[in-house]
Amino acid sequence: MSFDVTHLEVPVPQVDELFIAWWEATRDHQFLVQRCTKCNGTQHYPRAICTGCGSTDALCFISATGNGTLYSFSEVLRPAHPSLRAPYVVALVRIEEGPLVLTQIVGAASNDLQCDQRVYLKWLSLDDGRALPVFTITSEFDEYSHFRTHNGG
């Protein structure tokens, strides 16, 4: 399977202090998820408190497997940002560890998608060495173009 995703340029924000660890791990293609060692709950995005039990001293990071199911999706016809070229598919993916993640599905048209199908984590390289997690509907594909970042959007 081959497809062109070079049209996808994404505005990526400057990292906020609270989220540095998460963004730094993307350099190694690690999708970090917080797990609470007290209640065993998981959460994403990372924060200073467990939303399951309120603990502030029991959160650790685990690395997501990258497997998920497609909760829902929408093909965007009018780009949200001048650097994004429509159409593109935004999606909510339920990752295996539990949390729901807002992302894009790349390499597939929305007509090929169905809610509840399996999806797989892929990484888009950003020009500052970080990477942006997206999902595909096939586990084989791993050829990705380089993506220019637009810091601060």
Binding site for other proteins (CB under 8 A): 10-16, 19, 23, 44-45, 47, 71-81, 84, 88, 90-92, 99-104, 110, 114-116, 132, 134, 152-153
SS3 sequence, 54-109?
CCCCCEEEEECCCEEEEEEEEEECCCCCCCCCCCEEEEEEEECCCCEEEEEECCCC
**Nearest CB to other proteins, comparing residues 58 and 135:** 135
**Nearest CB to other proteins, comparing residues 10 and 108:** 10
Closest separation between CB of residue 134 and other proteins, Å? Answer: 8
Closest separation between CB of residue 32 and other proteins, Å? Answer: 12
Closest separation between CB of residue 89 and other proteins, Å? Answer: 9
Closest separation between CB of residue 127 and other proteins, Å? Answer: 14
**Nearest CB to other proteins, comparing residues 1 and 102:** 102
How many degrees, rounded to 5, is the angle at CA 150 between CA 22 and CA 112?
A: 75
How far is it, in rounded angstroms, from Cα 70 to Cα 132?
Answer: 18
Sign of the four-CA dihedral 79, 84, 85, 89: negative
